[in-house]
Amino acid sequence: MAQQQLQNLTLGQILDRTVAAHADRDAMIYVDRDFRLTYGEFGRVVDQLAKGLMALGVKKDEKVAVWATNIPYWVALQFATAKIGAVLLTVNTNYKTAELAYLLEQSDTETLFIIDGYQDTDYIGTVYDLVPELKVQERGRLESARFPHLKRVCFLGQEKHRGMYSLPEIMALEPLVTDGEYEGRQAGLDAHDVVNMQYTSGTTGFPKGVMLSHHNIGNNGWWIGENQGFTEQDRLCLPVPLFHCFGCVLGVLAAVSHGAAMVILEKFDPVQVMASVEEERCTALYGVPTMFIAVLEHRLFDKFDFSSLRTGIMAGSPCPVPVMRQVIDRMNMNEITICYGLTENSPVMTQTLPDDDIKRRTETVGRAMPQIEVKIVDPQTGTPLPPGQQGEVCCRGYSVMKGYYKMADATAKAIDSDGWLHSGDLGVLDADGYLAITGRHKDMIIRGGENIYPREIEEFLFGMEGIVDVQVVGVPSKKYGEEVGAFIILKDGADVTESDVKDFCRGQIARYKIPKYVAFVDSFPLTASGKVQKYKLQEQSLECFPDAGAG
């Protein structure tokens, strides 16, 4: 383990250091399309793309938005923008027209990269609808009435589209920028410059653009890799979205800073995950709990070889204890870690370590990362609370964002005058500094004055035979304000009824915590990064439980 000190490097310098040390080692692999680059090759692609962007006129501090799935050139764009001092703005692949319009307007984006589309959304058609000038104006001279800052739209592929630059055209511009100009641009960068912007999900109002620096995410990525014991010998299977910190920081930056290979999937598919792990002998695997459950429950699970796996990360939402134990026992991930954090913290504030005992590795989210402080405060008064008491989780350190873009008031609400970032999550610290997350402050169910934390009931129901996954939400009630509702996914062939669930709870948990409403579903509504959208389950509860609100 390295000394607990921070690196004062830009992302470009981090990549250059790895290219110099491990030029001939694999950097990026896509098993489904036989795509493979060494670090030396990847470094050359990044430099070519970076010079092409400079030739296009992309200046320092300009925003370059990328609306794309995990295609190969996404990662190249991450480092190419960093090398020329631009800000990579990562766009949620699930966004629709109104959401993209809001992001482009609020962020003052100058350059937009897109692909054909994703699922039922036509990205090209969406952009033409929003920016009709693309079809009639000369490339590079775009003047959009609605988006006055937008200068250029680029297609992240080979095909040509009216008004857009294709990827080969951008790469071909490389000779127009001299080595001296390129090096001069890099010499003018500082590790504390903003390099990445990500828009939060907007669960409390309009989405906010989180500004993160090289120093923020470069160091966080480094320590995430250190805590997994990453070296150039490791091979990371990465099926999580790159637009989210889980992909581009916990994944890409942890791997690149240690010279590890990235085995990337364009989108999550359990069979592709298992095939990639087996074929490339991956030593690490990332995923949110729903992804690991999908792999563990797949009918082909026993056909694949997981013996190469050693470590990885389960994060993004609360990790059910039984799932963690299965991942350790059945997938050979004896050193798997859990990370906890939020985008505003670059993102990780705590992580379990491979040598933590099984209880701490399954029931907590670990201890504070190096150079980060964590405390629990009373959500109402802000008063620090002692070990063992539940309150809001706060953190302070190098990792705290530079702020929300053009939202000073929101920034001041999130980061107090002493530099503490308030997470909005509830948790408990033990005497040794291990943190257990007990839920979102806003997800808490208040039934007749009793505070109920969904996580506690979810963990309890995970112990019931036949249940694969469960999510607990508040259901409106005239009498009590809210009642407990449980949405449950069953194992194939399991014969479990609503009465069975309630009987399982009786005498084991307090009466007011027993779900009044139970619904059996095939799946949960998820974000593109795999997080369960509890607010949608709450909306569904009105349809699933027609008598809700009356009692």
- Domain end call among 126, 156, 189: 189
Residue type, 78: Q
Band of the pLDDT at 548, cuts 50, 70, 90? confident
Overall average pLDDT of the 374-378 stretch: 97
Q: Which secondary structure element, helix H or strand E, spans residue 460, and what is its range? A: helix 454-461
What mean pLDDT is reported for the chain?
A: 93
What is the helix (H) or strand (E) element at residue 80, kind and residue range?
A: helix 72-83
Q: How confident is the model at residue 403 (pLDDT cuts 50, 70, 90)?
A: very high
Q: Count CB-CB contacts under 10 A for residue 545.
A: 19
In the prediction, which pLDDT does 405 show? 98
Q: What's this model's pTM, rounded to 2 decimal places?
A: 0.85
pLDDT band at 161, cuts 50/70/90?
very high
| pLDDT band for position 204 (cuts 50, 70, 90) | very low
Span 259-311, pLDDT tens digits: 999 999 999 999 999 999 999 999 999 998 889 999 999 999 999 999 999 99
User: Are residues 437 and 289 both part of a single domain?
Assistant: yes
In a domain, 4, yes or no: no
pLDDT class for 201, splitting at 50, 70, 90? Answer: low
Q: What is the pLDDT of residues 442-481, one digit of tens each?
A: 677 878 767 687 888 898 899 999 999 999 999 988 777 7
pLDDT value of position 448 = 72
Mean pLDDT (whole number) for 14-31: 98
Q: What is the pLDDT of residue 205?
A: 53
Same domain, 271 and 154: no
| Whether residue 473 sits in one domain with residue 436 | no
Q: Which of 189, 223, 242 is a domain's end point? A: 189
d(CA 367, CA 375): 11
Domain tally, the chain: 3
Q: 35-78 pLDDT, tens per residue?
A: 999 999 999 999 999 999 999 999 999 999 999 999 999 999 99
Give the distance, in angstroms, between the CA of residue 407 and the centroid of all CA atoms in the same chain. Answer: 22
- Residue 180 falls within a domain, yes or no? yes
What are the residues facing 483 on neighbouring strands?
Answer: 475
Residues 231-261 have pLDDT tens digits of 999 999 999 999 999 999 999 999 999 999 9
CATH number at 144 reads 3.40.50.980
Same domain, yes or no: 306 and 424 = yes
Compute the average pLDDT of residues 349-370: 94
Least Cα distance to 277 among 250, 322, 311 occurs for 311
Q: What was the pLDDT predicted at 2?
A: 45
Residue range of the domain that includes 333 = 209-441
Backbone angles phi, psi at 300, to 5 degrees: -95, 5
Strand order in the sheet with 284-287: 35-38, 26-30, 261-264, 235-238, 284-287, 311-314, 337-341, 348-351, 367-368
Q: What is the pLDDT of residue 547?
A: 78
Same domain, 367 and 504: no
More confident residue, 449 or 376: 376
The pLDDT of residue 317 is above 90? no
* Statement: residue 343 has pLDDT above 70: yes
Q: Which residues lie below 8 Å from residue 381, measured CB to CB, with a gap of 6+? A: none
Residues 410 and 462 in one domain: no
- Are 185 and 229 within one domain? no
Residue 544's pLDDT band, with cuts at 50, 70 and 90, is confident
Q: Greater confidence, 446 or 128? A: 128
CATH number of the domain that 342 lies in? 3.40.50.12780
Considering 189, 218, 238, which residue would you say is the last residue of a domain?
Answer: 189
Angle ∠(473,477,479) on CA atoms, nearest 5 = 140
Task: Tell me the average pLDDT across 525-538.
Answer: 84
Q: Per the domain annotation, does 274 fall within a domain?
A: yes
Residue 519 has pLDDT above 70, yes or no: yes
What is the per-residue pLDDT for 364? 94
Of residues 82 and 95, more confidently modeled? 82
pLDDT bin (cut points 50, 70, 90) of residue 203 is very low
Q: Is 9 contained in some domain?
A: no
